[in-house]
Structure 1
């Protein structure tokens, strides 16, 4: 019979302690504290052995012991350690563990840390599960928690990510509202004012993607120029103006020329490229949609 690994031996010892009855001279609380310590040791040893699922499971067992011992802060840490282990190949379990972490953090009023963990959930939904809807909801929830803790810049980064995802989901009014919210917040600070033109450009692209709504796009462009007089002179505003005119005229060549000119100076990211392709498809048949960007 093969000998047990050090981690498995610790796990068995932890299981035995957790299942034992409390003696005359020990409380149930101290029993769970001791079992929790053993599960933590087992989990760390599994990590050394690169057995991340087993490590996550052991940290989760530790968390349950901490809960039974009425140690919510330690339980939150244990769930977070479980999530970090599960991230190595088990995204759904990581989300579940992070969700448990957030329960403890919000009950303790630690909303800044809860926002950090909610943002992690959003990243897992996006990168591992390709679940845009769930990712969007997590980013918005994280943004709300950051905002109430006065972490405005971090909140806006989450809201901007949520806006991008609303646009990917073709929920353009929601995307525009979020971009405008972030832009309005950013206008009030010299440190963030430079980024406003980017948010307004994204909002304008959403208007054009929304059934070629040049009326809204023109109205918003005028509104943004009123909010910040310098916007009208930026490359972003001129680019938007050129796109609006091309869409109004149904002029594919002018549209392509405007995109190419902007891209030469400021490389288009994947999100903008995708949005521009959506807009351009409405100007021509899908069969022609070959190699224009």
Structure 2
């Protein structure tokens, strides 16, 4: 045990003694709220020392104890801060505990009307669950985060969450939902002179989803050009038109070559590659029309 960790344990023990003093007179002449406040400070200091010693579980428990005492003294915002500290520590050792303490912080923040903070930690939970390959629960928290962000008119942050929801929907085969989400984000970007150029990436994502479905891709692409005329001059538009032709002709080799050519100039992300591979598989399901 390191010197830092030993000091942390001593502080934690001192916190417990402050909270439960022995002796009639010590109890009689000390205010409960003052004892709780001192104990809270010791738990917080212990948590920071445990963090320095990289004993993440003990750090998490120390901050959680501090948060519980904050609630006893009606310091709800301080409690939320310590619950977040606890969650951040448990992220490294125990995901379920991390989620538990994030949710406690979210409840406090939303009760206090701090909805952006609530959204921020729903998003943190979603990202944590994604890392654990728990996609369905992650989407649920992204949806809650997006809703809270929108409630506070923080649409840029909401759209980051919506993007994740759209990606997951597409991978799950719900192309209609994914297309709707990507189109919504594109419309938001098109309304902003700063973000307007980003719209083509979301129209591209929507088009890829359409290639995987039985939708009339050509008609949709015409709609996207009406929405954003510059899209027609983009490499993304030209790629989709080429790929659509490959699908209609059953030309898998040309499809793969077109994707490789695009990727050599503009590296495709993992999601794009997976969805384009799925679109290519449609060719095997169609009769050879060449």
Tell me the TM-score normalized by structure 2.
Answer: 0.89
Structure 1: where are the runs of 5+ without partners?
Answer: 286-293
1:110 to 114, 124, 135: 114
- Structure-2 separation of matches of 1:8 and 1:115: 34
In structure 2, the residue matched to 1:130 is: 133
In structure 1, the residue matched to 2:96 is: 92
The question of whether the paired residues in 2 share the 8 Å contact of 1:214 and 1:247 is answered with no
Q: What displacement does 1:265 show?
A: 2.1
2:125 to 121, 126, 129: 121
Q: Which one is further off, 41-50 or 194-203?
A: 41-50
Q: What displacement does 1:25 show?
A: 4.3
1:8-45 CA distance string (max 9 Å, x none): 22212222333459944444333322221121122112
Matches within 5 A, 1:218-237: 218-237=218-237
In structure 2, the residue matched to 1:270 is: 270
Matches within 5 A, 1:239-258: 239-258=239-258
Tell me the secondary structure at the aligned position of residue 74 of structure 2.
coil
- Structure-2 separation of matches of 1:25 and 1:70: 22
In structure 1, the residue matched to 2:144 is: 141
Tell me the secondary structure at the aligned position of residue 230 of structure 1.
helix
- Structure-2 separation of matches of 1:51 and 1:257: 51
Q: RMSD of the TM alignment (CA)?
A: 2.0
- Structure-2 separation of matches of 1:237 and 1:16: 69
In structure 1, the residue matched to 2:196 is: 193
- Structure-2 separation of matches of 1:256 and 1:76: 51
1:57 to 53, 58, 61: 61
In structure 1, the residue matched to 2:288 is: none
Q: What displacement does 1:110 show?
A: 0.8
In structure 2, the residue matched to 1:150 is: 153
Stretches (4+) displaced over 4 A: none
The question of whether the paired residues in 2 share the 8 Å contact of 1:214 and 1:244 is answered with no
- Structure-2 separation of matches of 1:184 and 1:159: 13
Q: What displacement does 1:89 show?
A: 2.7
Tell me the TM-score normalized by structure 1.
Answer: 0.88
Tell me the secondary structure at the aligned position of residue 43 of structure 2.
helix
The question of whether the paired residues in 2 share the 8 Å contact of 1:159 and 1:178 is answered with yes
- Structure-1 separation of matches of 2:264 and 2:218: 25
Q: What displacement does 1:49 show?
A: 2.0
- Structure-2 separation of matches of 1:194 and 1:142: 25
1:28 and 2:32 are equivalent in the alignment: yes
In structure 1, the residue matched to 2:8 is: 7
- Structure-1 separation of matches of 2:29 and 2:155: 52
Structure 2: where are the runs of 5+ without partners?
Answer: 286-290
